[in-house]
């Protein structure tokens, strides 16, 4: 099985126009086999762009097509309201890849979803999206690097390392159930623990590869969850081992202060929780290969 999305998922792409990034990525997702059933643009309702029917609002798209997932790739100043529009339309799963959304907008939308729209899960923002290998791809991940068939679920804060980790597994003939990029911003809609819980509940996911990075405490929280709730083996890699204290590296959330948020602290917490900790992405793939062999 996969988590969050599968071959039955119907996607509405918010912000479709002939030259939009949403259309570009939406067409790539459709070419992978994803059911891209609609697009939205308040100025183009009634149009058909590259075979995708365009509606003036997400609510209209949902009513006409039964869309149950949204893909948002719009400029930062429009992204927060696009997420809210999808939630108001009752879309249960929203993927937002937009980078550069102000942190106060992210916090406002996150709390609004928790309070008023508990039936809507947001993935992102500033994330590569999600790929259910061979079934559904929402976001910017290349479908060529994913291998269907399980048994490994993958969750990552880093987009670039996410791609490498998928490829490392595929090169070793290790299939994936789902790859989930949660994004590296300070206020992600979906956390490590959310995804770990989904993988723990999925019978076809038999092991998990987790990619963390410096900054914040999400990995330590994940370590606590793994120790208390996970029965499946977890392999982890933390990016940013050589990052100097106080320096932001890459993502807005990847900043360390003193000993808080360091790669060393995260690796120690994960190891103490029974996680197999790797020193680099290639080693993570090698260690996961060993885990899969042991699973039989």
Active site residues: 251
Q: Are 4 and 198 in contact (CB under 8 A)?
A: yes
Residues sharing a CB contact under 8 Å with residue 153, sequence separation 6 or more, in sequence order: 3, 176, 177, 178, 179, 180, 195, 198, 199, 202, 205, 207, 208, 209
Q: How far apart are CA 169 and CA 189, in angstroms?
A: 26
149: left (phi over 0), alpha (psi -120 to 50) or beta: left
Give just the sign of the alpha carbon dihedral 228, 234, 235, 239.
negative
In the block, residue with structure tokens 């079934």? 135
Nearest alpha carbon to residue 82 among 131, 124, 136, 25 = 124
Q: Is 238 helix (H, G, I), strand (E, B) or coil?
A: strand
Picking from 285, 277, 278, the residue whose alpha carbon sits closest to that of residue 168 is 285
Whether the ω angle into residue 169 lies within 30 degrees of 0, i.e. cis, is no
Please list the residues that pair with 117 across neighbouring strands. none
For Cα atoms 148, 154, 160, give the angle at the middle one, nearest 5 degrees: 100
Q: Which two tokens stand for residue 233?
A: 């083996």
């Amino acid at each position: 099985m996969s988590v969050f999305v599968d071959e039955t998922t119907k996607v509405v792409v918010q912000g479709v126009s002939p030259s939009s990034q949403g259309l570009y990525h939406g067409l790539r997702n459709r070419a992978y086999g994803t059911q891209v059933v609609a697009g939205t643009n308040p100025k183009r309702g009634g149009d058909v762009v590259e075979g995708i029917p365009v509606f003036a609002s997400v609510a209209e798209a949902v009513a006409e097509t039964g869309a149950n997932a949204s893909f948002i790739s719009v400029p930062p100043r429009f992204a927060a309201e696009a997420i809210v529009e999808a939630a108001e339309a009752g879309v249960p799963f929203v993927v937002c890849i937009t980078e550069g959304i102000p942190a106060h907008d992210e916090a406002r939308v996150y709390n609004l979803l928790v309070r008023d729209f508990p039936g809507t899960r947001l993935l992102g923002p500033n994330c590569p999206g999600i790929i259910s290998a061979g079934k559904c791809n929402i976001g910017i991940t290349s479908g060529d690097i994913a291998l269907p068939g399980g048994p490994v679920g993958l969750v990552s804060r880093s987009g670039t390392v996410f791609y490498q980790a998928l490829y490392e597994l595929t090169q070793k003939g290790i299939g994936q159930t789902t790859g989930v990029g949660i994004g590296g911003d300070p206020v992600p809609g979906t956390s490590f623990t959310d995804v770990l819980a989904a993988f723990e509940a999925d019978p076809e996911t038999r092991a998990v590869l987790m990619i963390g990075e410096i900054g914040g405490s999400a990995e330590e929280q994940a370590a606590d969850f793994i120790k208390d709730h996970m029965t499946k083996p977890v392999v982890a890699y933390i990016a940013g081992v050589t990052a100097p204290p106080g320096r932001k590296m890459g993502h807005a959330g990847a900043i360390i202060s003193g000993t808080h948020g360091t790669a060393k602290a995260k690796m120690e917490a994960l190891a103490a929780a029974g996680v197999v900790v790797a020193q680099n992405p290639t080693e993570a793939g090698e260690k996961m290969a060993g885990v899969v062999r042991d699973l039989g």
